[in-house]
Structure 1
Amino acid sequence: MASEQSTSRSADLELGRFLHARRNQTRPEQVGLTKGTGLRRTPGLRREELATLAGISIDYYVRLERGKETRPSPAVLDALARALRLDDAEHQHLRELAALAARYAAEPAPPTSPTVRPHLELLLETMRPNPAYIISRSMDLLAWNPGGLALYAGLADWPATQRNLARYLFLHPTARTLFPDWDHQVRGCVARLRALAGTDPDASDLTGLVGELLLKSPDFATLWERYEVAGRKKVHKTFHHPQVGDLTLSAQSMHLEGTPGLRLSAYAADPGTPDHDAMLLLDMATERSAEQPDPQPDPQIEQQPRRQS
């Protein structure tokens, strides 16, 4: 019972946290208001300004933000979304948070299994030399072909149980030089984790990772507070790879049927191009080093308990 009450309270507060974060990041001039001459104590909209724009009372809005009002009507949610200039993904996230707070939402999905079926591992192998891998909803790397692992330079230096793409982006020293658009990559990464945490705040496969990154990465902590949930995905990704040089690959990610929470990501380049040649070199170089033993755990990375399959 205590656990259920804790989860319910987390859901109540998450709706308020999202509204607070979006309000702080909405500048008055974005919504047609003037800053005025007085000193503003908030970087974005004041509570009374947002309430007025949404056509609700300031008292009601304060209750929403503090988690004391958990059943806003669809009309109120739509009005708040318009006032805050939310995009479609953010608007949908607001609806999901409200449904969760009002206990209308279905039970959160269980954490994804760390076990990948053999036919999926075979699929990854048949995709060579195209880099491909399978990740969990919290971005644990669960299966890969040689190029899929080697694409993230230095990730193979970590033991398999520590290979997580969010951890790599923020804690691996190579990540910032591997991605010329590192800032864009990490914003999308945090937005994805934030969206998951908002609708499943006590997810066991997420809380440990987020706690670790909040402790070890000031960049992650700053982005986490922004509460962005709509990362902008790119059709192409550029890598400044220490082994094969610069390469730009088309990227595709998809859910896997019958495996809730798991996603397959794959990369490709047009045959005969320098990018394709670099991709071939990466696959061959990785195959030659495949006989090396699994590295020992890095003491700088928090040890994650081995999950049972």
Structure 2
Amino acid sequence: MGSFHVFGAFQKPLSSVWVHVERIERKESESGQLEGSMDMCVYDDEGRALVQVLGMEGGFFKQKVKQCVSTDCWIELPQAPPLDSSVEKIRPADIHELHEAVLQRMDRQAPLCVVVKDEELAAYVRTLRSEYPMWKVTCVVCDHNPSGSPCDGEAEEWKECNGTWSVRRLHNVTLPPLVGALSMSERGMLSNLRVLEAQHTAPSHNTMEVRICAVGLNFRDVLNVIGMYPGDIGAPGCDCAGMVTTLGDGVSGFAGGDYVFGFGTESFSGYTLVNPSLMRKMPPDWSFAR
């Protein structure tokens, strides 16, 4: 396997997420199996660090990587792509119409062009493409109905605004070393989520700071963000795993550098303060993701 130039990127609904790989290495276990681990960091679309993941395990790593950064973004084209008027087009007004259109075409494998009015609905089309890989699904974001489906190359996502066409491509970027935390301005929409720069907060009595290495995304968090969970349960993020960095007065049973897992608050961040009684030391054969 050759060295990585771009490890990869993936799109969260309504916002870009960048994957920054800091280290990839391989080792041979006592049983003779090849094992690998990776250090990486996840950033938002403004280059702010969200979560650092240390020691991610896998059996396919081989080369060491110092830095690989990429994101998917809109690249403006010098001219409009050719349009194929023979491809079936649908223009759903919302997610419900999109769902109905999909159900009606479950037994087909013909190319399909989905025209949407904004990128929020385009995120659902992206999910549709991943769940039905046998389909050739093209998504076009524009405020009108184009005469055909773009058919230039292998691109699957297009955008047209005032006659100017853009295509979504991977793009290499340089990221600043920032500590970030997921924040929501108000409940109601996923698009209210932002990753903002955060500061370290010294732990108070009977608390400790943990560097987040893995965090669970639960349906409770989604309901919390869109305002459908009863009561105010604070910021999203609960179960997590990471490394103890700083101990507050009165904390016993833990030391700096301990790998721990358990329950915290606001764990969608680079660092968080936790109650030691809700954390446990990780068994030596466990990974953070486990």
Q: Same fold (TM over 0.5)?
A: no
Point out the structure with the larger strand share: 2
TM-score, normalising length: structure 1: 0.23
TM-score, normalising length: structure 2: 0.24
Point out the structure with the larger helix share: 1
Greater RCO structure (CA 8 Å; 6+ sep): 1
